[in-house]
Amino acid sequence: MILEARGLTRHFGGLRAIHAVDFDLTQGEIHALIGPNGAGKTTFVGLLSGRIPVEAGTIRFAGDDITRLPAHRRVRLGIAYTFQITSIYPRLSVHDNLALAVQQRGAADLGRETLAALERVGLAGRAAQEAGTLAYGHQRLLEIAMGLALSPRLLILDEPTQGLANAEIDAFKALVRSVVPETTVLLIEHNMDVVMDLADRITVLNAGEVLASGPPAQIRANEAVQTAYLGG
């Protein structure tokens, strides 16, 4: 296991956002996290990435206890998290956004590795464009490229296909497949076609608790999941 969470709990006042969740990520897998709005998905990945403090429970990454580590320390250990709302630098060029991410990793050849990262997501032709002027879907691709530029061991993607056209979704799926097994991917996604096509395993959250976890066929056939989320 590359990541193990046990008993993760986070309440906000009287709201039970995440309660006693156990969760495992296997090295090299694509693991999808799904659930209805308000299920606690964004809070949960905030706990894993260190952006929200853990109230109770433990998180281990590659065997080390990271429960109390701040987000920037987790990034250095190899956890990259792209946000549901894009977190690019809008006044900088596409190239310079990526160069900052590549530089953070300590690249030997900044120019060459930045260009390679741009080409990987199909944005090389937009390198000089101010990032804030990109279409929303292209901003998402830039954000994913910035995450990948860190060469993470775990890449957490929060609603990555939101705003992407169908052709861009196909390219995104190919991109995700290309990074495993070197990188483990945790995918928070509403597009169930993408989830069922990409994921090796799926965990379903509902009301801050794990409703089910397993391979796509098992999740699709689960009556409780159908009732809570899949509209069955």
Nearest to 140 by CA among 184, 176, 112, 183: 176
Instruction: Look over the chain and give the mean of its residue pLDDT values, rounded to a whole number.
Output: 90
> Is 60 exceeded by the pLDDT of residue 232?
no
The DSSP bridge pattern shows strands 64-65 and 15-25 to be unpaired
Superfamily (CATH H level) for 1-78+155-165+186-232: P-loop containing nucleotide triphosphate hydrolases (3.40.50.300)
**For residue 164, is pLDDT > 60?**
yes
- Dist. CA 56–CA 7, nearest whole Å: 7
Q: How far apart are CA 189 and CA 161, in angstroms?
A: 8
pLDDT at 85 over 60: no
According to the model, what pLDDT value does residue 95 have?
A: 94
Map out the domains of the chain as residue ranges: 1-78+155-165+186-232
Q: What is the per-residue pLDDT for 231?
A: 57
Q: Is the peptide bond before 181 cis (omega within 30 degrees of 0)?
A: yes
Query: 213 pairs with which residues across the strands?
Result: 203
Q: Is 57 a residue whose pLDDT tops 90?
A: yes
Instruction: Give the pTM.
Output: 0.89
